[in-house]
Amino acid sequence: MSVEHLPSSAAPEQVAEALARDGCVIVDRLVASEVTTRVLAEMQPYLEKTARGPDDFSGNFTRRTGALIARSPTARDLIQHDLVLGTVDRVLADAKNYQLHLTQVIAIGPGETAQVIHRDQWAFDFFPFPTGFEVQCNAIWAATDFTEENGATRVIPGSHKLQDKLRFRREDTVAAEMAAGSVMFYTGALYHGGGDNRSDEVRAGLNITYVRAWLRQEENQYLSVPAAIAKTLPEKLLRLMGYARGAYALGYIDDLRDPIAAVRPDLADRGLGAQESSLPDRSVATNAPQPLEKKEGK
């Protein structure tokens, strides 16, 4: 049992195919390590102020610091990376739209124990989504090298096809080792958990995940990113943050207005039939309702 590694030249179709088969895949050195190092540097003042987790699941020696869009300009490029969005667009191909679920630096400190093996989609109140119906696609970037010793994420390849609410031990998993600048994709149904850190260094990852737009975000992007900053961001990123309808007539503001009008009125679409998003392949046709068949007497 091992995690497949693909080169940085991999196409979204290859990544999505591996995810369909195994539920996880690593793309090696997709960006230079200097890029993830820069994100950590931009986030460092906030990491230092973040308290360690309050329990074993969050991590007694782990810091989880969010709001990457507001705090790290460099992270915005990772969030919009072509390979990442191309992959998410294929994994969630049957969704009308998708959005950011959370952005977070996960810094696992020395002495941390292994996290309980779980599915990220359990965040939705443990709703039993049908097997094979993926609701989210995750990308965890290695900001530092991920090794067996320093707490690399532990995964069970193929477990996204298993039944829900199973229990696993650390011995059932494999460490997703990868170099800084690499990224591991995995689905919300994959059983996984943070590794135990037996080294004297911090293992830092950039957890950026995407979810079907009709589900609630784990990190509230509207509040995590102040309006003053949101007004300066490009349309593509704003749409990803959730300033877009989740589906036809889902998520508009007041008089059926496009949500993006709240921060960028100049970008607003007109009416519910207008294009919902700048995400790949999200066209007017897929977002607009189909006309009803005409009935006699109506």
Which pTM was predicted?
Answer: 0.90
Per-residue pLDDT tens listing for the chain (298 residues)? 899 999 999 999 999 999 999 999 999 999 999 999 999 999 999 999 999 999 989 999 999 999 999 999 999 999 999 999 999 999 999 999 999 999 999 999 999 999 999 999 999 999 999 999 999 999 999 999 999 999 999 999 999 999 999 999 999 999 999 999 999 999 999 999 999 999 999 999 999 999 999 999 999 999 999 999 999 999 999 999 999 999 988 999 999 999 999 999 999 987 654 444 444 444 333 333 333 333 334 3
What's the full length of the chain, in residues? 298
Run of H or E residues at 138? strand 136-142
- Residue 25 and residue 3 in contact, taking contact as beta carbons nearer than 8 Å: yes
Closest Cα to residue 203, out of 248, 137, 273, 154? 154
CA–CA gap between residue 56 and residue 7 (Å, rounded): 35
Domain ranges for the chain: 5-212, 226-285
Given a contact cutoff of 8 angstroms between Cβ atoms, the answer to whether 143 and 37 are in contact is yes
Options 2.60.120.620, 1.10.3720.10, 2.40.10.10, 3.40.50.300; which CATH number does 5-212 get?
A: 2.60.120.620
Integer CA distances (angstroms), 35 to 42, 74, 241, in order: 11, 7, 22
Q: Classify the phi-psi angles of 54: left when phi > 0, otherwise alpha if psi is within -120 to 50, otherwise beta.
A: alpha
What is the DSSP code (8-state) at residue 172?
G
CA dihedral 218, 127, 96, 100 (to 10 degrees): 10
Distance separating alpha carbons of residues 67 and 155, to the nearest angstrom: 26
Q: What is the number of other CB atoms lying within 10 angstroms of the CB of residue 76?
A: 18
